[in-house]
Amino acid sequence: MSILHNNSKESQCYVNPLCKFFKKLQLKRCVTRAGFKKKRGPSDNDMIVGAISSGFIAENLHAAANSSASKLLPVCESSMYRFMEGTNGNLEQLSLNIAHEAYKKIDALNSSREKSRYCFVFDDSILEYPKAKKMELCTWTFDHNEGCSVRGYSCLQMGWTDGESYLPLGSKLLASDEESESFQKKHTQKACPDAICKTGLDKRTHASQIRTEAEERTKPELVVSWIKRAIKNGFKASYVLFDSWFNYESLLKILPL
């Protein structure tokens, strides 16, 4: 549902509070620390603010850019997409940075008893794209709710909670191994045989690291590395909450809590 219906004074009142909120969370510093850089035009901070604000204008960036409130975005739709497709900016680190600024404000208000309830939360869900034809790394993924494989991604999400507030720390899209023998026995054809595969990416970039994690790392490995990274970034927790299928001895032994 669109929150900003038109480019008027009424629409502006929705954007201005967001900007004030971002200042309290020191968004500009978070963006810089996450490695975003822009040589000319609107600043990297303005681009991130525009991308987030588009979610309050319409259901996605494309719809926001083609709405009557499109002038609230810093640049045109194609420029916004080019910025978001950049290989240097680390969106995962940006999520952690913003969440940590909110975490510090929440932590300062909690008592020692409330701090003992801090938890990391993990959830695994399926993002289905039944009409996908050329989506990169879109594979057949087993959906336990449907009892069958669907075309899409497995989405692993991490958050932090104190029992009252919840802070999302990020999400990772994972792809199935369509080259394995077990997969080829179940499926005669790949989910997206005409998928566009980007090659030649510098392995030092965040985009390359994301693709490596999506294809090669298992969910338990990601859970452990994600917790370590969150702790390194200043988060504290006494417990980890996840679905029962995560709960096995080898994982519990290596959890860094």
The span from the first CA to the last CA of the chain, in angstroms, equals: 41
State the pLDDT at residue 12.
44
Q: Please give the backbone phi and psi of residue 68, each rounded to the nearest 5 degrees, phi first.
A: -70, -10
Per-position b or e across 115-141, b if 16+ CB within 10 A of its CB: eeebebbbebebeeeeebeebebbbbb
Query: Residue 236 — pLDDT band, cuts 50, 70, 90?
Result: very high
The mean per-residue pLDDT over the stretch 142-161 comes to 88
State the pLDDT at residue 200.
66
Neighbouring C-alpha atoms within 13 Å toward the C-beta of 67: 24
181: pLDDT strictly greater than 80: no
- Model pLDDT for residues 36-52, shown as the tens digit of each residue: 888 888 889 889 988 88
Here the tokens at position 85 are 């497709």
Whole-model pTM: value is 0.80
d(CA 41, CA 76): 12
Q: Are 60 and 54 in contact (CB under 8 A)?
A: yes
162: pLDDT strictly greater than 90: yes
State the pLDDT at residue 17.
61
* Listed range (25-34, 97-106, 190-199, 214-223) with the worst mean pLDDT: 190-199
Element (H, E) at 155: strand 148-161
- Mean pLDDT, the chain, whole residue set: 83
Give helix 44-57 / helix 77-84 axis angle, nearest 10°: 110
Please, which residues have CB within 8 angstroms of residue 186's CB and are 6 or more apart in sequence?
140, 149
Q: Which residue ranges make up each domain of the chain? A: 9-84, 91-254
107: pLDDT strictly greater than 50: yes
The mean per-residue pLDDT over the stretch 233-254 comes to 86
The fraction of the chain above a pLDDT of 90, given in percent, is 28
Query: Residue 165 — pLDDT band, cuts 50, 70, 90?
Result: very high
Q: Specify which residues 173 forms β-bridges with.
A: 155
121: pLDDT strictly greater than 90: yes
